[in-house]
Amino acid sequence: MRLGACKFKAMKYLIRSIKYFFYFAILTSLILLVLIYLGMADANIENNFEGGSNAFWKMGLFFAAVAAVYPKLAFINRRLYIDPSADITPVVTDYLREHRYVLENQTEDTMTFRLKGFGPRLIKMYEDRITIVRTAEGYYMEGLRKDVLRFASGLEYKFQDKED
């Protein structure tokens, strides 16, 4: 792997980690605010956490640790077991369109898809990109683990069905 590509992946990983750190912190704050609003938690922070406001730095360390590991667990690159000589563009585009993904960018050997709609993209923190790359060995799909596994198995089934 080239040094530039390695730096790009490291920067992407760092940005994702920072994004998830803030996501966890904001989500926890919103949950706490809802609990306070509903009267299920005390408005005095000193009474909500053992150690009071001193617990914030401990929670921050926990969020940082989880955020540092989460991108490694949540994003994968998986090989698609589809004939590399096959033109998959129309089938993949239709299949992903059925799942609310639109073609964002296409080159000779790469297709990039994004989720359609503001709400679903926000829930995924704008980390909704699915990339399919054609190499000499075959096709590879990269993105969020759950989506890649679901779409890869669906596409492999579609292409297996076409070959029969």
The burial class, CB within 10 Å (0-12 / 13-18 / 19+), for 29 is exposed
Residues 97 and 143 in one domain: yes
Question: Is the model's pLDDT at 141 over the cut of 90?
Answer: yes
- Alpha-carbon distance of 145 to 112, in angstroms, equals 16
Domain count, the chain: 2
Residues 152 and 90 in one domain: yes
Residues 86 and 66 in one domain: no
What count of other Cβ atoms lies within 10 Å of the Cβ of residue 146? 11
Residues 23 and 88 in one domain: no
From the list 122, 143, 125, 123, the residue with the least C-alpha distance to 19 is 125
Residues 112 and 156 in one domain: yes
From the list 74, 51, 81, the residue with the least C-alpha distance to 153 is 81
Which of 52, 73, 94 marks a domain boundary? Answer: 73
Question: Is the model's pLDDT at 164 over the cut of 60?
Answer: no
Q: What is the pLDDT of residue 162?
A: 62
Question: Is the model's pLDDT at 93 over the cut of 80?
Answer: yes
Domain of residue 153: give its range. Answer: 81-163
- Mean pLDDT, residues 54-63 taken together: 87
Q: What is the pLDDT of residue 2?
A: 55
> Could you tell me the CATH number of the domain that includes residue 156?
3.30.310
Which of 39, 57, 73 marks a domain boundary? Answer: 73
Q: How confident is the model at residue 6 (pLDDT cuts 50, 70, 90)?
A: confident
Residues 64 and 89 in one domain: no
Question: Is the model's pLDDT at 152 over the cut of 90?
Answer: yes
The burial class, CB within 10 Å (0-12 / 13-18 / 19+), for 74 is middle
Residues 61 and 90 in one domain: no
Which of 29, 50, 73 marks a domain boundary? Answer: 73
Q: How confident is the model at residue 43 (pLDDT cuts 50, 70, 90)?
A: confident
Q: What is the pTM of this model?
A: 0.77
Residues 44 and 116 in one domain: no
Residues 86 and 142 in one domain: yes
- Alpha-carbon distance of 21 to 102, in angstroms, equals 28
CA of 15: how far to CAs of 3, 19, 99, in Å? 18, 6, 27
Residues 69 and 85 in one domain: no
Q: How confident is the model at residue 51 (pLDDT cuts 50, 70, 90)?
A: confident
Mean predicted lDDT score pLDDT of the chain = 87
Residues 57 and 109 in one domain: no
Can you state the percent helix, strand and coil of the chain, rounding each to 5? 60, 20, 25
Q: What is the DSSP letter of 84?
A: T
Residues 64 and 87 in one domain: no
- Alpha-carbon distance of 16 to 125, in angstroms, equals 10
